[in-house]
Amino acid sequence: MSETRNEQLAVLESMVRIRRVEERLAELFTQGNIPGFIHVSIGQEAVAAGVCSGLGPGDSVLTTHRGHGHAVAKGIELRRFMAEIYGRQNGFCKGRGGSMHVADRNVGVVGANGIVGGGLPIALGTALASQYRGEKTVTVCFFGDGASNEGTFHEALNIAALWSLPVVFCCENNSWAQFTPQSSYMKVTSVAQRAAGYGMPGTCVDGSDVTQVRAAAREAVERARSGGGPTLLECKVLRWQGHYVGDAQKYRAPDDVKEARTHDPIRSYAEVLGAAKVLEPGDLEKIEQCVKAEIDDAVAFAAASPMADPADLLTDVYA
């Protein structure tokens, strides 16, 4: 496997972009600039960046309430993304969806979903559309370990395998279902084991290691693209923060959080690239500067955007 320096730096940059976007979102939310609530994926950036690095604009991504990273990695335009989360008129959804419903069909971000497990059956349909039309496009459906206990998980994986649909079910297993630890809701600790029950391959990787994620995702995407059917790809990740921004995590041992934060996918990939002389002194600073400028611009755009238009309250219910 050979990949260019640019590809590797792009993956690093994508992770940095997700991290800084979510740090900024958390800050803006805490300051009261964003209504509702915000769920961040800080510490889990390798999954979004790694999986999406192997996708093209024609491929579809469905994501979750913790989905900023997937949308950003898939190439969503940051200005309208930020405006949506601000609830503004020129957000992607005219301020009707917010953080949990960001979408941009033009880059294949089909839509984020506020219902745990709600996207899994929909991924069957987006993948079926590719197969129906004879396209070589694929769907990636992100979900969590909590969602794997919903009935929709079972229905979706069975049909995807049965019909050899071009879909990758990417489970981000962060071992928490909101405030409840995994030992309280699953007998098995690996969601990937469940793939066997559907007759599809299941793979489990360290979701903090973007190199592992990329390799496993590449294989799964290639299988889907070439007509080989679905894969259940499990990425074990660590939740650095609470379920939502502001969650004091009193239900969680402080050492557990501390330990989680020692697994930093950005720092470790930067070290790998540094050791390989791919990342040269000054490169990371340049990436940070570039990302900061993009985010500053997006936030300024969102903050200056008009509020959601009252005249729009009643439109778009029907076509």
> Is position 248 an interface residue for other proteins (rule: CB under 8 A)?
no
Interface with other proteins (CB under 8 A), residue total 43
> Is position 5 an interface residue for other proteins (rule: CB under 8 A)?
no
Binding-site member from 41, 44, 53, 130 for other proteins (CB under 8 A): 130
Which region among 68-76, 127-135, 216-224, 246-254 touches other proteins (by CB under 8 A)? 127-135
Give min distance, CB of 49 to other proteins, in A.
Answer: 24
Residues numbered 168 to 187 that lie near other proteins (CB under 8 A) are none
Q: How far apart are CA 13 and CA 22, in angstroms?
A: 14
Which region among 155-163, 208-216, 276-284, 295-303 touches other proteins (by CB under 8 A)? 155-163
Give min distance, CB of 18 to other proteins, in A.
Answer: 22
Which among 64, 46, 48 is positioned nearest to 113, based on CA atoms? 64
Give min distance, CB of 181 to other proteins, in A.
Answer: 25
Which region among 6-14, 34-42, 149-157, 195-203 touches other proteins (by CB under 8 A)? 149-157
Letters for 73-102 (x = contact with other proteins by CB under 8 A, - = none) are: ------------------xxxxxxx---x-
Sign of CA dihedral 25, 31, 34, 38: positive
CB 86 within 8 A of CB 92: no
* Smaller CB separation from other proteins, 46 or 159: 159
> Is position 274 an interface residue for other proteins (rule: CB under 8 A)?
no
Give min distance, CB of 110 to other proteins, in A.
Answer: 6
Q: How far apart are CA 231 and CA 202, in angstroms?
A: 6
* Smaller CB separation from other proteins, 208 or 305: 305
Q: How far apart are CA 152 and CA 166, in angstroms?
A: 18
Binding-site member from 1, 275, 311, 317 for other proteins (CB under 8 A): 317
Amino acid (one-letter) located at 80: R
CB 262 within 8 A of CB 232: no
Give min distance, CB of 121 to other proteins, in A.
Answer: 2
Query: Position of tokens 């590809």?
Result: 7
CB 116 within 8 A of CB 146: yes
Binding-site member from 120, 217, 235, 302 for other proteins (CB under 8 A): 120
Give min distance, CB of 239 to other proteins, in A.
Answer: 25
> Is position 162 an interface residue for other proteins (rule: CB under 8 A)?
yes
Amino acid (one-letter) located at 31: Q
Residues near other proteins (CB under 8 A): 60, 91-97, 101, 103-105, 110-111, 113-115, 118, 120-130, 132, 139, 151-152, 155-156, 158-159, 162, 315-319
